[in-house]
Amino acid sequence: MRMKKIVGAVACLTVLSVGAMAAEMSNAKIYEKYCKKCHGANGEGNPAKKGPALNDKDINELFDALMDVQEKGFEGPQHEAMAHNMKVLEKKKGIKVDAQSMAKYLYYSFNPEAR
């Protein structure tokens, strides 16, 4: 039935957007492997790599920045370096960062105000 398929697809999307599925890489793993070198073990930033601190941003700032990075936001050119990083990650490793869950992860892991 067509309707059942649609309901199934919606349910599936909901699960996906809630967070990392078992088969996917968790945000913690993604960060550890692909973000830490430029943004620091605790989101404090890494000047040597020009990576800005992320631990001083609130959840909305992080979300907006990640949306911009993925070129779904308003300010593309501001995030050229990151836009490049995300494309490489997606093309070469098949890893798609979910802006919403990653913003949450970054905020609650690193921002002292979240605790």
- 99: contact with ligand HEC by CB under 6 A: no
- 29: contact with ligand HEC by CB under 6 A: no
- 59: contact with ligand HEC by CB under 6 A: no
**Residue 55 tokens, joined:** 């631990």
Residue in 7, 17, 47, 49 binding ligand HEC, rule: CB under 6 A: 49
Burial 32-54 (b: 16+ CB within 10 A, else e): eebbeebbbeebebeeeeebbbb
- 43: contact with ligand HEC by CB under 6 A: no
Binding range to ligand HEC, per CB under 6 A, among 5-13, 16-24, 36-44, 107-115: 36-44
Is-contact 79 68, C-beta < 8 A?
Answer: yes
Binding range to ligand HEC, per CB under 6 A, among 1-9, 12-20, 43-51, 107-115: 43-51
Which residue, 2 or 50, has its beta carbon nearer to ligand HEC?
A: 50
Cα 37 to Cα 110: distance, rounded to the nearest angstrom: 15
3-state SS, residue 62 = helix
- 25: contact with ligand HEC by CB under 6 A: no
Token look-up 């070469």 returns 92
- 20: contact with ligand HEC by CB under 6 A: no
